[in-house]
Structure 1
Amino acid sequence: MHLSPDMVIYWQFGFVKINATIVFTWALMLLLTLGSVLITRNLSTKLYRSRRQNFLEIIVTGIEKQIEEVGLRHANKYLSFLGTLFLFLVTASIFTIIPGYEPPTASLSTTAALALCVFIAVPMFGIAEQGIGNYLKSYMAPTKIMLPFNIISELSRTLALAVRLFGNMMSGAMILGILLTITPFIFPIVMTALGLLTGMVQAYIFTILAAVYIAAATRSREPSELSTKANEYRSNEF
């Protein structure tokens, strides 16, 4: 039994290795790319829509709704990043029911890469929404003393994202491997179903946390509607 797909080596030449993490990561990306091309072909704007298009619209609408509920206005701006992130994690979990499949999310390198994508995306969206000056000022809010603490917060939450996803995915793979060794019949089926559910939940949590971080980076610096009404009320009193 191996703890990580990094330990499964398919080809090696010197220090260059092609392991299960690389193979299945690229296989998932290829599958998602081909799937998106096929499912978006011949889309219709008429009243009649194919089942394929209805399925696609349900997924896209559901993801957009979740993004908006987090607090991100204009969800379509963030759909490509957050939607792709969610679909990759979900697909990586669903395929665990296939014998011989090694989920790349059980590797720390993959989860660290996903967390790094969020780490880069947060300031990119923040700068695009507020401008580089206003975004950098947010690190010194409410006082300049908060600058080092805000920087540490950015780094620590990125590490937490990677460790959270890696720990949950790896633990499921380890438990399944142990049960396959001890009782290779009933329990592995139950744990596979449980691992599939856990993977779906982790994909949702990871994506929602990424959306929350982006929402915090893109929040408006203008006073809230409640504060504006309060100020108007005070001015009317005088």
Structure 2
Amino acid sequence: MDTPVIFHLGPLPISRTVVTTWALLVALGLTGFLGTRRMTDTPGPWQSALEGIVCAIDDAVRSMLPESPAGLADWIGTLWIFLVAANLTGIVPGLSSPTDDLSLTTALALLVFLSVHAFGIRSAGLWAHLRHYAQPSLILLPFHIIGELTRTVSLAMRLFGNIMSLEIAALLVLLVGGLLVPVPLLLLHIVEALVQAYIFGMLALVYIAGAIQSRRTAASAIP
């Protein structure tokens, strides 16, 4: 979906998606900074909520990968929190979710693609990581590469398609039925936004966990 250009930074056009994403990053950064400034041994409601979110993310990562490497929970948690905020932006009047732009979902999918290889290399080494693509036979190398590319494309398209379709449906119902009719659809949007954020982050976790486990197996097989 084409998004309007807000301004130009030199020759570089800055679209509405970029501006909204920057605003979300600043808002989330400030929320995290202000929310963790005064941590105490006796947590209040705000600190308890933050600790609950962190524990839930850590439990989800450890349920998939008990011996999770350092930084994995941080990465998956950051992805989940950003996606929840980005997907829910569309319910604010006058705004739209940045994830209804294919360029952003593609960038997120590419980050997941790079993180899969980064964690795979870090867990077993570069040689074991590369050797995995030639197992059990070198003939399968092209198919492994195609599989890596296609799942990255599907990750981007799935999030983009679901969020864009929700926003288009809400707009059409609003135009046809008036202001009160889209309320149930708005609730559906909230649920779907949370579900899509969870699915995207969980798929990223599954891909990374698979890369770590398979690379470790390949490393142990190296004589």
Do both proteins adopt the same fold according to a TM-score greater than 0.5, normalized to the shorter chain? yes
Question: Alpha-carbon deviation of 1:50?
Answer: 2.1
Displacement after TM superposition at 1:92 (Å): 1.3
1:89 corresponds to = 83
State the partner residue of 1:151. 145
The structure-2 alpha-carbon separation of the partners of 1:8 and 1:134, relative to structure 1 and needing over 3 Å to count, comes to same
Pair 1:178-2:172 in alignment: yes
Cα shift at 1:18: 2.6
Q: 1:29 aligns with which of 25, 30, 38?
A: 25
Tell me which structure has the larger Cα radius of gyration.
Answer: 1
Q: What SS does structure 2 have at the residue aligned with 1:140?
A: coil
TM-score of the two chains, using structure 2 as the length reference:
0.91
1:1-238 equivalences under 5 Å are 4=1, 6-11=2-7, 16-44=12-40, 46=41, 48-74=42-68, 77-219=71-213, 220-221=216-217
List gaps (5 residues or longer) in structure 1: 225-238
CA distance in 1, matches of 2:185, 2:11: 36
Alpha-carbon offset, residue 20 of structure 1: 1.3
Give the root-mean-square deviation of aligned CA atoms.
2.0
| Maintained 8 Å contact 1:70/1:208 | no
> Percent identity at matched positions?
39
Contact 2:132–2:218 under 8 Å retained in 1: no
Query: Within 2, Cα distance between the matches of 1:127 and 1:134?
Result: 8
User: Displacement, 1:17?
Assistant: 2.6
Letter in 2 for 1:9: V
Paired position in structure 2 for 1:235: none
One-letter amino acid of the counterpart of residue 135, structure 2: A
Moved over 6 A (4+): none
Query: 1:117 is matched by which residue type in structure 2?
Result: L
- How far is 1:100 from its partner? 0.6
C-alpha displacement at 1:154, in angstroms? 0.6
Q: Is contact 1:96-1:192 (8 Å) kept?
A: no
SS at match of 2:130: helix
Deviation at 1:12, TM superposition (A): 5.1
C-alpha distance in structure 2 between counterparts of 1:140 and 1:20, whole Å: 43
Write the distance in 1 (CA, Å) between the matches of 2:65 and 2:183.
39
**Following the alignment from structure 1 to structure 2, what is the Cα–Cα distance between the partners of residues 126 and 12?**
38
How many residues of Structure 1 are paired with residues of Structure 2 in the alignment? Answer: 218
Distance 1:27 1:21 in 2: 10
Shift of 1:196: 1.2
- The AA in structure 2 aligned to 1:43 is M
Structure 2: 5+ residue runs without aligned partners? none
How far residue 122 of structure 1 moved from its aligned partner, in angstroms, is: 0.3
Residue 92 of structure 1 contacts residue 103 of structure 1 at CA under 8 Å; is this kept in 2? yes
- 1:142, distance to aligned residue in structure 2 (A): 1.3
- The alpha carbon displacement at 1:93 in A equals 2.1
